[in-house]
A = this chain, B = another copy of it.
Amino acid sequence: MGVLEKVRPGRARAWIDTLPLDTILMRDCIEAMASLPDKCVDLIFADPPYNLQLGGDLNRPDGSHVDAVTDDWDKFDSLAAYDAFTRAWLTEARRILKDDGSIWVIGSYHNIFKVGSAIQDLGFWILNDIVWRKANPMPNFKGTRFTNAHETLIWASKGEKAKYTFNYRTMKTLNDELQMRSDWEFPICGGQERLKKDGHKVHPTQKPEALLYRVLLASTKPGDVVLDPFFGTGTTGAVAKRLGRHWIGIEREPGYVEAASERIAAALPLDESALTTMQAGKAAPRVAFGTLVENGYLTPGQKLTDARRRHHAVVRADGSLAAPDGQAGSIHKLGALLQGAPSCNGWSFWHYEDANGLKPIDALRQTWLLATQP
Contact = CB atoms under 8 A, between A and B. Distances in A.
Contact of A182 (B61, B63, B72, B146): B146
A169 B166 CA distance: 43
A79 interface: yes
A341 B63 contact: yes
B113 A119 contact: yes
Interface stretch (A88-96, A124-132, A200-208): A124-132
Contact of A146 (B59, B112, B181): B181
Contacts of A137: 181
B120 A112 contact: no
Most buried by B among A137, A146, A148: A146
Interface stretch (A149-157, A228-236, A244-252, A285-293): A149-157
B145 A127 contact: yes
Given A123-B72, A146-B182, A109 B133 contact: no
A121 B79 contact: yes
A146 B114 contact: no
Given A109-B129, A339-B63, A343-B59, A171 B183 contact: no
A150 to B, nearest CB: 5
Contacts of A152: 129, 152
Given A113-B115, A145-B166, A146-B181, 19 more contacts: A61-B345, A63-B344, A75-B160, A109-B128, A109-B154, A113-B126, A116-B117, A128-B148, A129-B152, A131-B133, A131-B183, A137-B181, A139-B179, A143-B179, A146-B155, A147-B179, A148-B182, A149-B181, A150-B182
